[in-house]
Structure 1
């Protein structure tokens, strides 16, 4: 019979090492400071969707504006290259913002159509007032995205996002739109 006098000590050390390593692995990383400002900007952009919907209601123009969307995404790609961000990632992010904004517009127009009227609130001019605000928000969004980008692959990203997003949701429509707007933020590991 073989005798291994140090085997119990080695097994104990190995087990302790596994448990200690497992405890470290299960400790979630802290939420990056860059997430909340990014989500606030995305949410602000969605709120402007309410104003866009009012202008579309009044003008009868369609929500889909393919030429404008292409222009916004092309501009975002250019800004991404200037900021040393991945242009494809930025294009996907901005496309998600556009889709989320349209979700708000379609939802509001459907509600107003069912009610037979839109709210009696001031209507800013789409071209001279709303679009410049959207362009400024896009610039801020890309700055904040650049600060958050290093955390996109963190295994806790989706959890951070769900928690931070829940604090910003004002109603179901805008909540769904915010989920769409943030759909490109986290990259799940394969």
Structure 2
């Protein structure tokens, strides 16, 4: 009897060990970190855009500019053999996340009665060229991450990798929105 109990115990321990290993997802692909860092960098530029909008009084919503950015992204996607519609959704998510930051900051500044007294770069000459450069880098990193989008572990990787990247709740929420198009869940037939 003691031998069978030992056998049962060691079998159960082996079973639990296998189950614990199966429950933990594999590590995130290396392609995820640089992609998230670029998305976060793009979001932080939203702070600068908000300052220019505060100073100019212009609305945050700029539909002609957004259409131009998405059209450019579709062209770049086709050149890079990426799905133009997927890329358009990804870039639209970036713009929505950026506007979320801008609206949030403008609301904070309106409540405070003033925006921070920091240097304001020129929107057309400094900020937009930087956003265009980031878009090019973003598409290259997105292409590297593409094979992992349908992986069932993608949402877990994404949630873990986003942790600690942002400096406040507003930017955390915006980064969640910015990454909302990265993982694709398999649909049941």
Which residue is equivalent to 2:76? 79
Q: Does 1:189 find its partner at 2:186?
A: yes
Residues 129 and 30 of structure 1: CA distance in aligned 2, closer, same or farther (over 3 Å): same
Q: Does 1:166 find its partner at 2:163?
A: yes
Residues 20 and 166 of structure 1: CA distance in aligned 2, closer, same or farther (over 3 Å): closer
Which residue is equivalent to 2:153? 156
C-alpha deviation, 1:188, in angstroms: 1.0
Alpha-carbon separation, structure 1, partners of 2:33 and 2:17: 32
SS at match of 2:186: coil
Q: Deviations over 1:121-160 (max 9, x none)?
A: 0000000000000000000000000000100011110000
Per the normalisation by structure 1, the TM-score is: 0.87
Alpha-carbon separation, structure 1, partners of 2:173 and 2:16: 40
Which of 127, 131, 134 matches 2:131? 134
Larger Rg: 1
Which of 134, 137, 143 matches 2:140? 143
Alpha-carbon separation, structure 2, partners of 1:65 and 1:91: 16
Which of 107, 119, 122 matches 1:122? 119
Runs of 5+ consecutive residues of structure 2 not aligned to the other structure: 1-14
Which residue is equivalent to 1:6? none
Q: Does 1:44 find its partner at 2:41?
A: yes
Which residue is equivalent to 1:94? 91
Alpha-carbon separation, structure 2, partners of 1:128 and 1:48: 14
Runs of 4+ in 1 over 3 A off after TM superposition: 18-27
Runs of 5+ consecutive residues of structure 1 not aligned to the other structure: 1-17
Number of residue pairs aligned between Structure 1 and Structure 2 = 173
Alignment RMSD: 1.8
Alpha-carbon separation, structure 1, partners of 2:19 and 2:186: 19
Q: Does 1:30 find its partner at 2:27?
A: yes
Which of 83, 93, 104 matches 1:107? 104
Q: Does 1:63 find its partner at 2:91?
A: no
